[in-house]
């Protein structure tokens, strides 16, 4: 179920990007931002954040995990707020979540804690 949720979210985000590009090129009128809707959904309940991150982990793709983590950070107040709570610099967070970023567990754990989440390992 979480994998389906994540796949739907990723597809919706891809569609939102296409819509945004069409708007920028003057071909469409502006509509409600999908990112804003997603962030509101994540803000409403930390269980939604956990479901998104778990689905991203199941995808076995670091880029999916970084994208999901970035959405959670944005929903929990943004990079500056999470940086203040974790003691990590904003630059470290941006670098960690960049396309070439390589998140370390020592950085991810404080981010999860600052977002009100924790990492759990369980048997398959």
pLDDT for the residue 28: 47
Q: What is the pLDDT of residue 110?
A: 97
Q: Model-level pTM?
A: 0.73
- Using alpha carbons, select from 111, 68, 122 the residue that is nearest to residue 87: 111
pLDDT band at 19 (very low <50, low <70, confident <90, very high): low
C-beta separation of 73 from 93 below 8 A? yes
Task: Please state the rounded mean pLDDT for residues 12-25.
Answer: 58
Q: Is 60 exposed, middle or buried (0-12, 13-18, 19+ CB in 10 A)?
A: exposed
What local confidence, expressed as pLDDT, does residue 88 receive? 96
Q: What is the pLDDT of residues 44-57, one digit of tens each?
A: 889 989 988 988 88
Residues 67-123 have pLDDT tens digits of: 999 999 999 999 999 999 999 999 999 999 998 999 999 999 999 999 999 999 889
Name which residue leads in pLDDT, 36 or 46: 46
């Amino acid at each position: 179920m979480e994998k389906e949720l994540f796949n739907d979210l990723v597809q919706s985000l891809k569609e939102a990007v296409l819509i945004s590009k069409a708007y920028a090129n003057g071909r469409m009128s502006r509509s409600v931002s999908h990112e804003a809707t997603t962030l509101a959904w994540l803000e409403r309940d930390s269980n939604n954040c956990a479901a998104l991150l778990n689905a991203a982990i199941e995808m076995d793709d670091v880029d999916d995990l970084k994208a999901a983590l970035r959405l959670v950070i944005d929903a929990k107040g943004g990079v500056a707020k999470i940086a203040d709570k974790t003691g990590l610099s904003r630059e470290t967070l941006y670098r960690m979540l960049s396309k070439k970023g390589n998140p370390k567990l020592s950085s991810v754990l404080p981010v999860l804690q600052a977002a009100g989440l924790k990492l759990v390992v369980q048997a398959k």
